[in-house]
Chain A
């Protein structure tokens, strides 16, 4: 009993649990990578039971990049991520700045409207009909305009502007600075960390988003990467699609499973690349903003 209650036992127990959970978080990822590096011969021989490939090969990746659909989808995802993040960040910033000015007539009404959009959903079909009527179906705009102003981010940024010491602004105004100068010389430069954080999270959301494309994009050549990945998982004859029937040598062919895992890895890589930057911005404020994201 004394042992069970002891400090060292407690530390041992929680270390074990934390290490175990970390392994459980990481291992599936390693397994996905392992399968993506296997050729058909090894896949068949092992019956799919792979710990790590004996002869790692990038064939699955080569075959995927050779197909035209994939490169286009990758490009569309990159485009929507940059365009969408830039647009939302710009729109969200100017909106948050304006509603953070306490002297602005109508300010509380505007804030109320912003909160209303968080609390009340407009529904899938009405949103679809509006996007359709605006002629945005099957265009990149359908992926970036519907989320152009993010209400949560407006509130988070407004909070950030509110916390910038008033004295800075007041002394600038006494020196004769107008609204534009106050914004560009004081408020925006002070908020760079907030922009970085919000921008990174928006970029991740754009990269990961697939459902909007499933509704708004019907043209198969205009799908972003995540939707293409989803469709590859649904398709039945993936192996035949990507392996030329001329190639019969099983070590030069790739199993459908390896192809699937390779596209998953490609979907993950950009996330892993910006992850170190993301990690800097894990704070409570960002978390609450991301709950309903």
Chain B
């Protein structure tokens, strides 16, 4: 029957133009999206490429402002300030990856291996909740626990007699930032691993048990190999996003006192652009970030497809 319909369609359509006419209804449906993509996505992309090479002057607007070649980039990369920003971005991304990658993976294995179904269900319900909190709420919770009158600060003061200034000092900035990020996502991140684990043939475990393999051996020889490709996929994906260190969260957590360890590209762009109206500098930095990020994601996808047979597209 499928073939019949296809032949029918082909008979009806003469050339390409006929196909377009026949689908006028679909094109009408696409119209809002096309307008949206042109005005709110592609035009800003174009604007980004123009503005990065101009000296934007508020009174003259984008098009009448003078071209300055690579001056904006020279200015940005000449600043010691921006070197620190780049270093912070990469360091925070890598720290998030280093400390944040293993916990959800292990938790997923534990949830998968739990023999008590009710415990798995109850704990999953609880563990997924923080993912749905906004970063503002996460900051509120961190404040509740770690401000000078917070639960953890007071507990430490009671036990050790010394008080630690968690929120103001720069030495605790990164642990709190990365720790609260892990706290938010640890449960939710297990979902993708658990989905991969459902593909494992259960008879493998039965056979391994008969052969005398204990739980650790089964994890090492069956569960972990079953997660291999999803692990490679996620690792490459996060390496592709290395220039995006979580600016929205940092914007809430940092203060001038912690710029030294917390200022990243996204927050730098925000301050230069929105607070100081340095539109050209901020745009040049974001073009650098977009271009470099684009290449990284393309590269990461290539690596992932090659070694894990799964890509983003």
How long is the Cα–Cα vector from A26 to B126 in the complex, in angstroms? Answer: 7
A230-B252, A260-B143, A284-B195 given as contacts; is B2 within 8 A of A105 (CB)? no
Q: Give the distance to chain B from A45, nearest Cβ to Cβ, in Å.
A: 13
**Interface check B186, CB cutoff 8 A:** yes
On whether the beta carbons of B44 and A127 are closer than 8 Å, the reply is yes
Could you say which of B85-93, B168-176, B221-229, B288-296 contacts chain A?
A: B288-296
In the assembled complex, the CB of B10 is this many whole angstroms from the nearest CB of chain A, namely 10
**Given known contacts A105-B16, A271-B133, A291-B237, is B30 in contact with A110 (CB within 8 Å)?**
yes
Nearest neighbor of A232 in chain B, beta-carbon distance? B140
Contact between B114 and A15, CB atoms less than 8 A apart: yes
Taking a contact as CB atoms under 8 Å apart, the answer to whether B45 and A120 are in contact is yes
Which residue from B141, B216, B294 sits with its C-beta under 8 Å from A119?
B294
- Which residues of chain B from 22 to 48 have a CB within 8 Å of any chain A CB? 23, 25-27, 29-30, 32-33, 36-37, 39-45, 47-48
**Most chain B beta-carbon contacts within 10 A, residue among A21, A91, A207:** A21
Would you give the 0/1 interface string for A194-232, flagging 1 where the beta carbon is closer than 8 Å to chain B? 000000000010011111000100000000001101100
Contact B33 A94 (CB under 8 A): yes
Are B273 and A128 neighbours in the complex by a CB distance under 8 Å?
yes
Cβ of B203 < 8 Å from any Cβ of A? no
Contact A123 B279, beta carbon cutoff 8 Å: no
- Decide: B286 and A18 in contact? CB cutoff 8 A: no
A261 close to B140 (CB less than 8 A): yes
- Contact in complex: B141, A264 (CB < 8 Å): yes
The reply to whether A211 and B251 contact each other, CB–CB distance below 8 Å, is: yes
A window 25-60: CB within 8 A of B: 25-26, 28-29, 31-32, 35, 47-50
Q: Name B257-313 residues within 8 Å CB distance of A.
A: 266, 269-270, 273-274, 279, 282-283, 286-287, 289-290, 293-294, 297-298, 313
Q: Tell whether, in the assembled complex, residue A149 and residue B294 are in contact, meaning their CB atoms are under 8 Å apart.
A: no
Given the contacts A28-B144, A174-B5, A208 and B282 also touching, CB distance less than 8 Å? no
Whether the Cβ atoms of A282 and B119 lie closer than 8 Å is no
Kindly identify which residue among A18, A31, A128, A263 contacts B151, using a CB–CB cutoff of 8 Å. Answer: A31
- Determine if B66 is an interface residue (Cβ-Cβ < 8 Å): no
CB pair A24–B183 under 8 Å, yes or no, is yes
Given A6-B214, A19-B123, A25-B126, A104 contacting B113 (CB threshold 8 A):
no
Total count of chain A residues near the partner, CB < 8 A? 97
* A106 to B34 CA separation, bound complex (whole angstroms): 12
**For residue A227, which residues in chain B have a CB less than 8 angstroms away from its CB?**
136
Number of interface residues of B (CB under 8 A): 95
A237 in the interface (beta carbon within 8 A): no
Instruction: Verify A267–B134 contact, CB threshold 8 A.
Output: yes
Contacts of A86 in B (CB 8 A): none
Query: Which of the residues A123, A204, A264 comes within 8 Å of B132, measured between beta carbons?
Result: A204
Chain B contacts for A226, CB-based, 8 A: 134, 136-137
Q: Does B200 contact A (CB under 8 A)?
A: no
Within the complex, what minimum Cβ distance (angstroms) separates B5 from chain A?
A: 5
Task: State which of A149, A173, A208, A279 has its C-beta within 8 Å of the C-beta of B125.
Answer: A279
Cβ of B114 and Cβ of A18 under 8 Å apart? yes
In the complex, whether A242 has a CB less than 8 A from a CB of chain B is: no
Assess whether B51 is interfacial by the CB under 8 Å rule: yes
Q: Do A18 and B29 touch across chains, with their CB atoms under 8 A apart?
A: no
Known: A32-B141, A291-B237. A179 touches B19 (CB 8 A): no
Min CB gap B259→A, angstroms: 16
A124-181 CB contacts (< 8 Å) to partner B: 124-130, 134, 145-146, 148-149, 154, 166-167, 170-171, 173-174, 178-180
Cβ of B313 to closest chain A Cβ, rounded Å: 6
Q: Which residue of A lies closest to B41 (CB)?
A: A117
Q: How far is the CB of B36 from chain A (nearest CB, A)?
A: 5
Q: Check if B215 sits within 8 Å of A10, measured CB to CB.
A: yes
Judged by a CB distance under 8 angstroms, whether A244 is at the interface is no
CA distance A211 to B135 in the complex (A): 10
A28 touches B141 (CB 8 A): yes
Complex CA–CA separation, A271 to B195 (angstroms): 24
For B29, B139, B150, which residue has the most chain A Cβ atoms within 10 angstroms?
A: B29
Q: Distance in Å from the Cβ of A225 to the closest Cβ of chain B? A: 9
Contacts A226-B134, A260-B144 known; 9 new A-B pairs at CB < 8 A: A18-B110, A25-B127, A31-B145, A50-B151, A149-B33, A167-B1, A264-B141, A271-B132, A271-B133
Q: Which positions in B face A, CB cutoff 8 Å?
A: 1-2, 5, 9, 16, 19-20, 23, 25-27, 29-30, 32-33, 36-37, 39-45, 47-48, 51, 62, 107, 110-111, 113-116, 119-120, 122-123, 125-130, 132-137, 139-141, 143-145, 147, 149-151, 154-155, 158, 183, 186-188, 191-192, 195, 214-216, 237, 248, 251-252, 266, 269-270, 273-274, 279, 282-283, 286-287, 289-290, 293-294, 297-298, 313
A sample of 7 inter-chain contacts (CB < 8 A) reads A14-B113, A148-B40, A149-B32, A167-B1, A230-B136, A268-B133, A284-B192
- Which 3 residue pairs across A and B have the least CB separation, nearest first? A123-B286, A208-B134, A122-B44
Chain A: residues with CB nearer than 8 A to chain B?
5-7, 10-11, 14-15, 17-19, 21-22, 24-26, 28-29, 31-32, 35, 47-50, 91, 94-95, 97-99, 101, 103-106, 110, 113-115, 117, 119-130, 134, 145-146, 148-149, 154, 166-167, 170-171, 173-174, 178-180, 204, 207-211, 215, 226-227, 229-230, 233, 257, 260-261, 263-264, 267-268, 271-272, 275, 278-279, 282-284, 287-288, 291
